[in-house]
Structure formats: structure tokens, C-alpha cells
Structure 1
Amino acid sequence: MKYLIPSFLFIFFANQLLAQNSSIKGQVKSNNALAENITVKIIGQSKSARTNQTGNYQIENLPIGNYTLIFSGIGYQTKKATVVLTNEPAMLNVDLLDSESNLNDVVITGVNRATQLRKSPVPIAVLSKKSMDQNVNTNLIEAIVKGVPGVTAVTTGPNVSKPFIRGLGYNRVLTLYDGLRQEGQQWGDEHGIEVDEYSITRAEVVKGPASLTYGSDALAGVINMIPYSPNFEEGKLKGDFTTNYQTNNGMIGASIGLAYIKKNWKYVIRATAKTAHNYYNKIDGLVYGTAFREYNLSASARVDQKWGFSKTAITYYNNLMEIPDGSRDSLSRKFTKQVSDYADDIKNRPIVPDDDLKSYSINPLHQHIQHYRLYNTTQFKLGNSDLNVLIGGQQSVRREYNHPTAPQQAGLYVVLNTLNYDLKYNLPDFAGIESTFGINGMLQGNRSKDATDFPIPDYDLFDVGAFYFAKKSMGKVDVSGGLRIDRRNIQWNDFYVGTNPQTGFGKQVEANYPSANFQFPAFKKNYYGLSGSLGLTYNISEKLLIKANIARGYRAPNITEIGSNGLDPGAHIVYLGNRSFKPEFNLQEDLGIIAYLKDADLSFEWFNNEIQNYIYQSRLTAANGNPVVIVPGNLTYQYQQSKARLYGAEISVNLHPSKLKWLTVNNSLAYVVGLNKNGELLAKHGRDARYLPFIPTLQIRSEIKVTARKPIGILDKPYFKVDGVFYADQNRFYALDNTETFTTGYGLLNAGIGSTLKSKAGKTLCDVFVQVDNIFNKSYQSNLNRLKYFEYYNASPNGKSGIYNMGRNMSFKIIVPF
């Protein structure tokens, strides 16, 4: 009895204590659809959960008491809910609203884990598929440019847009597809991204150094293009058919996607085709060499289990794109075409027939780009932590055909193979600190095949970096930051080029080949980078925020900057690199003020960016002032390196009167100045060398949109909008050696209508979008349009020089779900 009573009491009280623990579970929906991957977090507790594919969640081993839960997810408004937990498990079901303003939207780019936009001190913008569908786009980057202030693009015709963020582009902007970095010969001017625009449902843009999470090449920021993920009832097959026609270049696009959910598996497949003839403007007429044809195929499969999830996806991109060179008849200004490889007299080429200008057939001088991508992303749930693993393989095949007498012979033929790896471990929360440790990088090899021109050597690259990132909320203040260290090794062997006696073209040869030219001496070098960031968000109130961030970014020189020594046929430029270049480092300060008021959303973002060892292109001229011509008919550019500074701001004023819910007025302004800090050049050339090349001019956008709040017959929420964009004169340009010239400002007016069509039973029949860009068919040249500089004459009969941008363009798009 002496031991029995204490034992009984121990068991009794132990059972009572265990009985005090219970659980909360429930289901999350949105618009009657199951909401997957919603984060459910208890305020004041380290425990959290995520909803599975059926929208269900469960948090166990909680003491009885009162709790406040926060439900947040990408594309949804964050919601708080309270529950009283007793001995019995509590059931808490929640309906989330779509996120109309993105203040509480959840982002995944540039942060250690899914994070509310309001908590990130780094400027991040989100663009939805709905916004992209309501504009005229010939490629995905063009859609992002129209939707995100501070993002611009250097273009070479309608199918090549290289993204720039706050005046920085090329390898300084890292593009991701579903979190996997895009690798596809992005060093070239005429190389666009290789992504199916119809497959993307969301784009997240990080403005400023994001090297902390991704390593080199994110000095200016990150664009993450996120494909569709199905979220509907199990056992159903759903899909959509999209078709698009644009009047200016006759662009025809068609895309079909299918999605199926069975048990814990989700399957998605999409096929897309696009074709277009040459585009038109009033000055040039139909611009020869701007037709393209594109095919895309993608598929993915994802399984969700208690241990986490695993997704495997494959994509294929195939693009045939003509190469414009701008050659013309000197009197009529009609476009001419190259018909000879030998003794090609540019000023006496034959005029292009009208039938060729209007044809959808791709002319012999064109690029053929193929991109293959296979990757797997897996998350392992480990209690209150998780491990995320991303492994991806890519192959980019690029052929540029520039020999009219031998149309099957590629001038440039390069194959780039890349293996990407990314390992991130989200540690358990400790003292309210959310932290992540990660290692990522890539292994890359580039090889030239049966080509005649060799602008870059065959090289091998190995990249590895490790980082630690943490964030903590302290009342009204959210703080985040971290450190990263990187190492990149790049090397190549001796590379010789000789002449093929049968064709007279160049070819890769051995060192002992007769008259072999030693084009690329062997090279091997390691680049190291240390980067970091620290920022905070001060929540003055639920609707008013102040954000500040300081970050140091790093970028290793790319292959063309250190290794190029030859003609890139597609760009019509001979590039000359510099093997002694150092890595770029920048220090950027960001300050932002955001207010989400009852009738307006206001934001002001200011930045200052100091860059060490900035690399840029400059046209090469001889001592007599004439351009250096190494290959006839092609310009010569040499890379330079100096200090630089960029500063500017973005302002947004979006009005949505609460008493006029049918009206929205969106306004934005983006401004950036790029200064060349090369003291030697400034002392010698003054203002001609003061500014950096390819800096966007002041840009103002305004949109007035009227949306019906109630259905009108079969029209559900029909809208009408008018928008205008104004670009100021660009008189701050890099004028040394006529690399750039003055660009006159211009304004464009656009308009559009659209609606969802529904049956009387409420079933969605289709979405219809009609948009007209450049309503008044204005003739203009963008300072970021490379075709502006495609000119062979010092003067012309009409006083116009170079090629102009696209004229009026009307787009008809229909999306039919099934």
C-alpha cells in the first residue's frame, strides 16, 4: 500500500496532464475550391502546419486554451481566426479571399521560406496571370515590363526581350523557372529567355541584390516565373485552350493544357505553338528579318505525402527566329537581303520581294534555339523543420545560320549543358527566429559544334555557394538578413581556328593545322564573392509600412566578358573580352514607404546602387575616329570595366474609391540614372562618357479601368480600360564612339476590353480579351531597342535612321476552360 497509492496518484495526474493536450484541425477553401499549401501558424507558438492537396491541416499536442491562428498563402488574403481548445479536438474551417492588393500576399522568391510581402524589406513585386492576359504580349518579359515599375527590356525585334531591373541587365538579372535558374546562353544581346509564356500563372520580381539566396548573377534582382499547379477536386480531368491573334505581325498562338488529380498525385501537361511574320511600322513598313516560329511542350507530376512532396517536371522549347540586319536600298529605303558570302556588297544587295515580307516562312538567315529542362524539387517535412532539395539538368542548343550560299551551315553552333543543385534546410524556429541554411550552385560545360564563327571558347564552369538567412518579427518590426560566400571556377583549353579549304569558312582545328589561328589561349581562374544583407520593415499600422534594406551583391564575369574574341552572327557584332576582369560587387540601399488606404494604394521606393568593377560594352573606334571593322558589315564592341553608380525611384499611386467600386486608376513612375565613374574616361571625353549604356529613360504609366460589379447577361465582370505610357527624352546616354545616340521621347495610348462569359447555370464558358496597343499608330524608337542602331548610311532620303518599333497592334485572346 505504501507504493500503491503514490503510483496510483502518479498515473492519475499523468493522465490528467496528457488529457490537457488536444489538437486543432480543419479545411481551407477559396471560392469553393480546396486551398493547398496554405501555411497555418499559431501566434505565440512555434508550431505550424500546411494544408495538403485536399485543403486539410492539423496541429497536434496543444495545451487547452485560447489560440489565434494565421492562414496565409500565395495569391490569397491573409486571415486570422480564433479558437477555444478544450479536451476535445477543435475543428476550424476557413474560407480565404483572393488577394486583390498584394500587401498580405505571400511570396517565395528571394526569401528563406514563404513570406508575407509586407514582412520583406527587399522590394518584391508580384504579377498575376490575370494581369498578363489583359495586355498585348509577344513574350513573357514584355508582359512583366508592362506590369512591374522599374523593369524594362532591351529588345531585338518582337521575340527577344532581355529583362533589366533598375537599369541593370544581362547576367545581372537572374531568371528562374519554378525556382530553377535559367541557363541558356543569356550573355548575348539577341538571346531571349526560353520559357512558354502561356504556361506561367505568376511572376515574382525581386528588385535589388538577391545574391544571398542564389549566388552570382542576381546583382540586379530575380525574376521567378512560376508555372500552373492544379488545385481542384480529386478524380477530375480539367484543362484550358488558349488562342491569340495579333494584327501587326499576324502572330497566331495556340496553347492547350491538361491537369489531372488522382489520390496524392497531380499531373500537368501543356503544348504551345506560335508563329508570326515580319512586324510593321509606318516608317519602315514590314521589317525584314523579324518573323519567328515557336513550339513548347511541358509536363509535370507531383506526389504529396505525410513526409512532404516531390515534383518532377520536363520542358522543351523550340524557336526559329529570323536574324535582322537592317540593310536597305539607299534611295527607296526598302530592305535588302544578303545573297552572297563572298564579296558581299552591302550597298548593292537585292531588294526583298513583298511576298517574302509577308510570309510566315522563316528565311535562311535565322536562329534555331532549343532548350531542354528536366528537374525535381522535393520537400521533406522534419517535425517543425523541412529540407528542400532541387536538382535540375538543362541543355541549350543554339544555331545561328548566316551563310546564304550554304543555308544548312551554321555560323554559330553551341551546346550548353548545365546541372543545377540547390539544398535548403529551414531550421526549427528558435526564440521566434526563422532561419535557413543552404548550399547551391551549378556545373556547366559549353561546346562549339560544326560552326564557322566562334565568339566564345569551349569552357567548363563550377559554381558553389553557401548562405545563412534569418528573419524575426518583434512587435511592429520585422527584421531579416544573412550572409553568403561563393566560389566560381571557369576554365578552358587552347582553342584554334582555321579555314576550311572546301568552303572557305572558318572551323575549329588542332594546333598543328596549317595557318591555324590561336583564337583563345587557355585560361583558368577562381572568382570569390562575399555578399550579405540586412533590412527591416516597420509596421506603423496594419496599412502603413516603412521598409529599409542594405545589401552587398556579387557577380562573376560571364564568358563573353572575359573570353569573347569573334563574331556573334545573330548580333552582327564582333565582341572582344578582357581576361583580367574582376568580379562585380555592389552596395545598394533601399528605402520604401507603402500605404494601403481605404481609397488608394501608395508606394514610394528609392534606391542607391554603388558598383565596383562594373562591366559594359563600348563600340570600338580607330585613332582616326572611324569604327573598327574586323568582319565587314559587323560592328566591333570591346568590354570595359569601371566604377558605376545607379540611383532612382519608383512611385505608384493606385486609386480604388470605396464608393465607386467599379473604378480603378493605376499610376506609376520609374526613374533611374546610371553614372560611369571611370575617372580617366571622364577626364578625356567629358559628358560623352558620363553615363552608362542602355539606361531606361523616365517612364510614366497611367491606366483607367471600369469593371462591372454585376453580370451583364452572359458577361461576368466585364471591363474596359484605357492606358497610356510616356517615355521622356533620353539625353543621358553613353555617347563615346557613338555607342548610343539621343532618343526622342514619346507617348503611346492603349485600350482594352474583356470579360468572362458564363452560361445561365453559372458555368464559365471562356475568357475574352481584346487589346489595342499604340492606337494612333505612332512612329517611335525606344532607346532600349537594339534595332535603332541597325543602319549602314550616314544620311537617308527621309531623314530617318535605324529601325523603328512596332506600330499599331490589336490582340484578340480567348481562353476556354474545360
Structure 2
Amino acid sequence: MYKFFLGIWFFMAFIGNAQYISVLDEDSGEAISNVAIFNKDKSKIALSDFDGRFNASLFLDRERITLRHIGYEEYKTTKQQLLRQGNKVYLFMKAQQLDEVVMSVSKWEQQKKDIPNKIISIDAKSISFTAPQTSADLLESSGKVFVQKSQLGGGSPMIRGFATNRLLLSVDGVRMNNAIFRGGNIQNIISIDPYTIKNTEIIFGPGSVIYGSDAIGGVMNFYPKKPVLAENDSLLVAGNTNYRFSSANNENTVHANINIGKKKWASLTSVTYNDFQDLKMGSHGPDSYLRNSYVTRNNGEDVLMENGSPRTQVTTGYDQINLMQKVLFRPNAKWNLNLGAYFSETSDYSRYDRLIRPSSDGQGLRSAEWYYGPQKWFMANAQVLRKGDGKVYDGLKLGLAYQHFEESRHNRDFQDDVLNSTKEQVNALNVNIDLENKKIGNFKTYYGGEYIFNTVGSLGIDRNIVTNEEYPSASRYPDGSTWQSLAGYINGEYKAKPNLTLMSGLRYSHVWVNADFDDTFYDFPFKKADLSTGALTGSLGLSWFPKANLQITLNGSTGFRAPNIDDVGKIFDSEPGSVVVPNPDLEPEYAYNVEFGIHRNIKDKVIIKGTAYYTYLVDALVRRDFSYNGVSEIEYGGELSNVQAIQNAAKAFVYGFEFGLDAYLTEQWSMRSNLTFTQGVEEEEDGTETPARHAAPTFGDFHIIWKNQRLKTDLYVNYNGEIVYNDLSMSERSKEYIYAVDENGNPFAPSWYTLNFRSQFDISQSLKASASMENITDQRYRTYSSGIVAPGRNVILGLGYYF
């Protein structure tokens, strides 16, 4: 009998001494099950359970152990170290996994290997390592997206020859594009806080089946972090604080977030503040890029001042604040309620490319002031998720979102006492229903509907800066105009064979535009715009694995963009030498795209990816010469200007290829490279062909990466090809003041490269430090079509504390 009690005693002692370690995902904090934990000779093996926990009692304190999972990077440590870390260990997702889960194509989780579209994902780990200044820089750091900047507070992505209102932005599944997204470069992306992003997914090519109007060149989905629930009834408190400094513009950024969670509810609060000073360019490059002079106000007069530090781009600095609050409530396994609120506001910031525009006599500068007023964005978002029983749906999402946008423009010519201002507000309502059904044999369906309603408020004000007298002037858009869309879609995924997946989808969208024109300031030949247009779009593609390590994709898709208020009703917007007037007679533009892709995995050591594509755009909405009240030139802002308007007046052809290489040489060493080639041509109604404005130059990067469990380093080169004068679009040729000059005196965009280094070091589980140096050789360069010159040599330091 005593042996029985002795056995019970030993058993209880073993249980009492059990040392449980939780294995968690680094990005989401969620438990990881089926992680194998073993010692050097594999004589001791454990496996994490459903809650991500394993019993570490069988390992010695200083014994070297390995944690391994098929979807995560291998992690080596000791039990003693894990106990010091609070009985928790965080694993990182492996890069470039074909079994990676993506959300963008159907708004539901799908295996990336089954999707024919080209999609790239940028996870929180990569974002933390690159430490981008804004979300525009986040995209640019991928090496696969080209970004244009007219000013420091900017960032306009270009994808496959398309940009601005031909690309779609979404945050938390809600489209950010609104009724006044314009064809000119936009900067709304800087309202998205990169510190709050868990994952960014970019669809290359049309995405109109799921996302509707504007998704012609691509879709950029930003998925913010979610609140994390506690594993039991105890209170979970976690968070982090971060600081970032960059020398090129004396940036100071501080960020903090805190997660409070119980078993059924959780809250995530985030705040980020950025302070950017004037940006300094590099030493080696064209002298024409220097900021030799600027305008200041002295004793009530505009004075042209010599810039004592011409590499400093005077009046480019600004500051910004971003706030986020998210709440998750999960009463049971079937229901989820997600509430989110986002707010972003900038200070005033200069439109730098307009401030360097020379006067008509070439002896000075045209503008004394040209700046954007505070850019504000607010979104309140509610989403209900329910798991179904498979009869009608397996998953249901109901989404309701309200957004409020504010922006303004302020400009005053040199020696003019009148400051011209226009202020805009957009209120946007989005209602979505999305359903998933994955239990019809080998066929999965995704279907749903969407309703969008936008109202535009627009006001014009002129103010005499000497007397402070204000009086009304023409607004930028018809005040009170509306844009709305109603759509339904269905998307299907069919597993024809274990190695062959087919995907197809259809969407019908109907769009209404209503605008009443006020003739107080101008004698319009029309009184209103009343458009009602429909668009049917579709896609068909396949993903085929002829071998386990070789994927071939083929995809055909269509996209469209319906005219918005900016297209139809922009009232006398001035461009250099031209003035843009309203045009109420517009139709949607359509894109037809085909792409072919190859993804080859060579022994899990080398991954080669290539995609070739061709896109044909018809009835393109472009700015072209126009007649206003029978005349082709009018005086506007004291200058005789050519009259133009947005018209369905062109076709466009865009083609190119994208290449990527990842090589994992050892556990520590790896290489990564990307190359993108784009060629675009616009064809006029008379058959004349001109280069497309948003076809980026050939660009790419090359990285050499070394890492161990605590340190990661990246030595890399970014490069851009040249665009000669004959390959510049007609609209770019007129902006001589932002380009270098060739031997014939013509503007062109020179090629450039930068050598860069970044590193991140885990001082402890809770403390991380980063140090980087961009543009080590201090090159002076402008990215294509950009007004502002890129940073010169730039030291970036960061520190993060996680608790």
C-alpha cells in the first residue's frame, strides 16, 4: 500500500512542479498549437497544446532547446531564459510561405497558394524592422510599390502604371477612397498610422469584383491590430511604447498602445505623435534641385530671401497625431463584435513643388504661400461576425462605417495681398454584408453587397492678409453634391484537382452622381450634373501546381472607375499654364487585364517569383483641352490659361513584369531582391500616342540580411532607372522646375541609387533598439514626378519597450 501512496506523492510532486510555457504569435499574440519542442539529440520532445502551452519540466534549466513549427521561424533558447521571460515565447511567421493565409481577394481567409492574383503581404514584424516614417514609406519599403511625393506630408503610390483614384485604399475592410479622390497626386495614405498595422496586403491588378469602383491598378488593404482576449478569467494587460528619431528632418516620433483584455472582451488604445522639421537633401546630385531662395514676409511685404543652407528644403516640416481605439466583444464561439474609432490630423503643410515654381519672368518665385490646411480623417467602424451552420453560410460579416474627411488649399502669389482658400469636407457612409460558404463539395463561394453614400461640402474664401477682410469666392467643388453606389458580387473558388484551383467572380455596381452648380462667380453653360451609370466586372483565373515546388498562375480580370465629384465638378482648378473646368458629360472607364505568374521554390533555399501583365484601359478619364463657353483660353488668377477638363478622351496600354528573388543561404544569411519594369502609353482619339503619366521608371532593390535570435541587420541598395525626355508624359514635361536638364536643355528624370543599412537588436524580451543609416553616400535625387527632393544621409534611431 505504501508504494501506491508513494506513487501518488511522486505524481502530485510532478504536477506541482510542472512548468508551463506559452508559445505565442509575435504579431497577434495568439496561441500557437502543435509546436515541437526538443533538445539537441531529440531525446526529450514536447508538443504545445490547443492553448499553445507545453510542459517544460522535462528539460534542464540550461539545456539548449529548439521550438519548431511548419509556419514559423525556428527558435532556440533555454528553459531558464523562457522562465525569465515570464513563461512566454513569441515566434515569427516564416516569410514567403505558399500556405500563407490572405484576406484581400474575398474578404475572407484563403490560402495564398489557391489565388491566381499577385498579392504581397507586409506583416507587423517587417514593419517594425523597417520602421517607416509614414504608411507611404511602409509601401515603398516593400520594394514592389513606387511612391511619389509632392511634399514631405505626402506619398502617392503607383502600381502597374496607375495611381491616385485608380488605386483603392482600404482600412479594416472599409474603402478610404471618397468622392473627391483626384487624378493628381494624393496624400490620404499618410492618415494611416504604421504603428497600428498588423498586416498590409496589396493586390496587383484590378480588384473591382470585390472592391468596386477605383480598383483598376491595385488594392492596398491595411489591417490594424486587434484587441487580444485573456486566456482565462484573469485580466490581461499588455502594450508597448516606441520612440523614433531621424536626422534628415530632425524627426521625433513617440507611440504608445495598451491592450486590456478579459476572456470575453478586450480593448486596444493607441496614440502616435510625429514632429517633422524641414527635410535636408543630399550633397551629390543636380544643382537645379537646390533650394536657393524662398519667400518670407518682412514689414508687410513679400521678400525673396537667399537660403543660407540650400540643401534644406525650407517650409517642408509639419506635425501629426494619430489615435485609435478598438473594442472586441466575444460572448461565445459564434459571435464577434468589433468596434473601432480612428482619428488623424496634421498641421498645415506646404505644397513644396508649388513653392519652388519660378515666376513667369524667371527672376523669382511665383507663389509666396501654397499650403494644405490640416488634413483630418475620422472613421467609426462596427463589424459583426457570426459563424453559420453551412446551410446558407459558414461566415457572415455585417459592417457599418462612417468617415469624415477634411482638407483645404491655401495659395497666394508673390506680392499679392489676397490669400485664396478652398475648404472641403466629405461625409461617407459604408454598409457591407459579406458571406462565406465553404461546404459545397470542392466549391467555395463568397458573396455579398455594398452601399456607399458620400456628401461633399465645399467652400471658397478669399482673405486680404493686410486688412484681414474675408469675402466669399468660388468653391473647388459644387457644394452639397453627392456620390453613391449600390453593388452586389459573387466570387467562387473551385478545387478542380488537388493541384489545380479555379477562381471566378462577378460584380454589378450602379453609381449615381448629383451636383448643382452655383453660377454666382462663373457663368456655367450647365446648371447641374446628374449621372446614373452601371458597370459589370468579372474575373477568371487559375492556380496550378504541376510540381509541388512550382506554382503557375493565370488570371484575367476587368476593373472600372466611375466618375466622381472631382471628375465631374472640379471648378476652375489651376494647373501650371492651364485651368481645369467642370464637365458633367462623363462615363465610367474600364480596364481589361491579363497576367501570368510563376513561383518556384528550390529546396526551401531559393524562391523565384515572376509576373508579366498587360492592361488595356478604354474610355480613360483624362485631362485634355476643352472649350468653355466657346473659348479655349481664359484669364484665371491673373494669367492667360489653356482651358482643360476631365474627358473620356483616350485609351491606355500598360504592360510590364515584376521579378522577385529570395535566397536563404544559411540560418543566419539570406538575400532578397525585387525588380519592376513598367511601360505605359496613352492613345488619343486621333491615334496620337504619348507616354503614360503614372508609368514609373524601372525600380528595384537588393538586400543582404544577417540575423540571429537577437540581432537582425540588412545592407541594401535601392535604385531607379532613368526616364529620358521623350519618355516623359506631356504633363510632366511642363514641370521643368522639378526635373534635371539634359544636354539638349530638356527636362528628364535621372537614374539614381542609394546604399543603406538597418539593424534591430533585442536587448531583452521587453526592450528593442534599432539603428539605421539611409543614403549612406549622400546622393541628391528626386524620385520620378516628385516635387520634394529625397532625404540625404539619414541616421534613424529607435527604441521600443514591450510589456
Q: What is the rounded CA distance, in whole Å, between the counterparts of 1:634 and 1:747 in structure 2? A: 37
The residue that corresponds to 1:504 in the other structure is none
- Which residue identity lines up with residue 556 of structure 1 in the other structure? A
The residue that corresponds to 1:603 in the other structure is 609
Cα distance change on mapping 1:431 and 1:348 into 2, 3 Å = closer
The residue that corresponds to 1:642 in the other structure is 650
The residue that corresponds to 2:774 in the other structure is 773
The residue that corresponds to 2:407 in the other structure is 398
The residue that corresponds to 1:661 in the other structure is 667
Cα distance change on mapping 1:316 and 1:578 into 2, 3 Å = same
Q: What is the rounded CA distance, in whole Å, between the counterparts of 1:303 and 1:252 in structure 2? A: 35
How far apart are residue 533 of structure 1 and its match?
0.5
Q: What is the rounded CA distance, in whole Å, between the counterparts of 2:537 and 2:778 in structure 1? A: 47
How far apart are residue 579 of structure 1 and its match?
2.5
How far apart are residue 145 of structure 1 and its match?
1.9
How far apart are residue 273 of structure 1 and its match?
0.9
Q: 1:808 aligns with which of 790, 793, 797?
A: 793
2:316 aligned with 1:301: no
Q: Deviations over 1:219-266 (max 9, x none)?
A: 111100111124474412111111111111112111111111112112
The residue that corresponds to 1:584 in the other structure is 589
Cα distance change on mapping 1:779 and 1:481 into 2, 3 Å = same
Cα distance change on mapping 1:316 and 1:327 into 2, 3 Å = closer
The residue that corresponds to 1:189 in the other structure is 185
Cα distance change on mapping 1:690 and 1:39 into 2, 3 Å = farther
CA contact (8 A) 2:227 2:326 kept: no
The residue that corresponds to 1:482 in the other structure is 505
CA contact (8 A) 1:619 1:739 kept: no
The residue that corresponds to 1:324 in the other structure is 351
CA contact (8 A) 1:619 1:635 kept: no
2:446 aligned with 1:423: no
2:682 aligned with 1:676: yes
2:167 aligned with 1:168: no
Cα distance change on mapping 1:543 and 1:336 into 2, 3 Å = closer
The residue that corresponds to 1:89 in the other structure is none
How far apart are residue 210 of structure 1 and its match?
0.6
Q: What is the rounded CA distance, in whole Å, between the counterparts of 2:194 and 2:555 in structure 1? A: 32
How far apart are residue 117 of structure 1 and its match?
1.1
| Residue correspondence of structure 1 range 406-485 to structure 2 within 5 A | 411-449=421-459, 451=461, 452-458=473-479, 459-473=481-495, 474-485=497-508
The residue that corresponds to 1:291 in the other structure is 317
Q: 1:725 aligns with which of 719, 726, 742?
A: 719
- Which residue identity lines up with residue 189 of structure 1 in the other structure? N
- Which residue identity lines up with residue 319 of structure 1 in the other structure? T
- Which residue identity lines up with residue 666 of structure 1 in the other structure? R
Q: Deviations over 1:250-293 (max 9, x none)?
A: 12111111111112112101111112122122422222332211
The residue that corresponds to 1:796 in the other structure is none
CA contact (8 A) 2:151 2:353 kept: no
Q: What is the rounded CA distance, in whole Å, between the counterparts of 1:553 and 1:627 in structure 2? A: 35
TM (norm. structure 1) is: 0.75
Cα distance change on mapping 1:376 and 1:348 into 2, 3 Å = same
Q: What is the rounded CA distance, in whole Å, between the counterparts of 1:28 and 1:316 in structure 2? A: 35
- Which residue identity lines up with residue 348 of structure 2 in the other structure? M
How far apart are residue 736 of structure 1 and its match?
6.7
Q: Deviations over 1:477-528 (max 9, x none)?
A: 0111111111000011232344xxxxxxxxxxxxxxxxx6448731101111
Q: What is the rounded CA distance, in whole Å, between the counterparts of 2:389 and 2:367 in structure 1? A: 70
Q: What is the rounded CA distance, in whole Å, between the counterparts of 1:121 and 1:39 in structure 2? A: 29
The residue that corresponds to 1:124 in the other structure is 119
| Residue correspondence of structure 1 range 246-257 to structure 2 within 5 A | 246-257=246-257
How far apart are residue 382 of structure 1 and its match?
1.5
Cα distance change on mapping 1:478 and 1:236 into 2, 3 Å = same
- Which residue identity lines up with residue 517 of structure 2 in the other structure? D
1:680 alignment partner, SS class: coil
1:496 alignment partner, SS class: coil
2:572 alignment partner, SS class: strand
CA contact (8 A) 2:703 2:714 kept: no
Cα distance change on mapping 1:103 and 1:350 into 2, 3 Å = closer
Q: Deviations over 1:564-610 (max 9, x none)?
A: 231369x9974334332221111100100001222211001010111
How far apart are residue 301 of structure 1 and its match?
0.2
| Residue correspondence of structure 1 range 517-666 to structure 2 within 5 A | 517-518=523-524, 521-567=527-573, 574-598=579-603, 599-617=605-623, 630-632=636-638, 638-640=645-647, 641-657=649-665, 660-666=666-672
- The more displaced of 388-397 and 284-293 is 284-293
How far apart are residue 536 of structure 1 and its match?
0.6
2:661 aligned with 1:694: no
- Which residue identity lines up with residue 163 of structure 2 in the other structure? G
How far apart are residue 378 of structure 1 and its match?
1.1
How far apart are residue 746 of structure 1 and its match?
2.3
The residue that corresponds to 2:395 in the other structure is 386
Q: Deviations over 1:97-150 (max 9, x none)?
A: 72322322101012252011111001111012232333363321222122042x
Q: What is the rounded CA distance, in whole Å, between the counterparts of 2:537 and 2:22 in structure 1? A: 39
CA contact (8 A) 2:528 2:584 kept: no
Q: What is the rounded CA distance, in whole Å, between the counterparts of 1:308 and 1:680 in structure 2? A: 58
- Gaps of at least 5 residues in structure 2 are 1-20, 35-48, 54-68, 75-89, 284-289, 292-310, 462-472, 737-746
Q: What is the rounded CA distance, in whole Å, between the counterparts of 2:32 and 2:439 in structure 1? A: 18
1:677 alignment partner, SS class: strand
CA contact (8 A) 1:694 1:733 kept: no
1:100 alignment partner, SS class: coil
2:686 alignment partner, SS class: helix
Cα distance change on mapping 1:620 and 1:655 into 2, 3 Å = farther
CA contact (8 A) 1:76 1:99 kept: yes
- The more displaced of 129-138 and 489-498 is 129-138
Q: 1:313 aligns with which of 340, 350, 363?
A: 340
| Residue correspondence of structure 1 range 93-112 to structure 2 within 5 A | 98-112=93-107
Cα distance change on mapping 1:351 and 1:745 into 2, 3 Å = closer
CA contact (8 A) 2:701 2:716 kept: no
Q: What is the rounded CA distance, in whole Å, between the counterparts of 1:699 and 1:349 in structure 2? A: 33
1:495 alignment partner, SS class: coil
- Which residue identity lines up with residue 318 of structure 1 in the other structure? E
- Which residue identity lines up with residue 119 of structure 1 in the other structure? D
1:565 alignment partner, SS class: coil
CA contact (8 A) 1:267 1:300 kept: yes
Cα distance change on mapping 1:207 and 1:172 into 2, 3 Å = same
Using the aligned pairs only, state the percent identity: 17
- Gaps of at least 5 residues in structure 1 are 1-26, 41-51, 57-71, 79-94, 329-334, 339-343, 353-362, 499-515, 683-688, 711-715, 788-802
Cα distance change on mapping 1:555 and 1:411 into 2, 3 Å = same
Cα distance change on mapping 1:191 and 1:346 into 2, 3 Å = farther
How far apart are residue 700 of structure 1 and its match?
2.5
2:759 aligned with 1:750: no
- Which residue identity lines up with residue 782 of structure 1 in the other structure? T
| Residue correspondence of structure 1 range 58-77 to structure 2 within 5 A | none
- The more displaced of 724-733 and 312-321 is 724-733
The residue that corresponds to 1:210 in the other structure is 207
- Which residue identity lines up with residue 395 of structure 1 in the other structure? H
Q: Deviations over 1:764-816 (max 9, x none)?
A: 2322222222222212222231x2xxxxxxxxxxxxxxx63332222212222
Aligned residues: 675
Please report the RMSD computed on the Cα atoms of aligned residues, expressed in angstroms.
3.7
Q: What is the rounded CA distance, in whole Å, between the counterparts of 1:462 and 1:257 in structure 2? A: 36
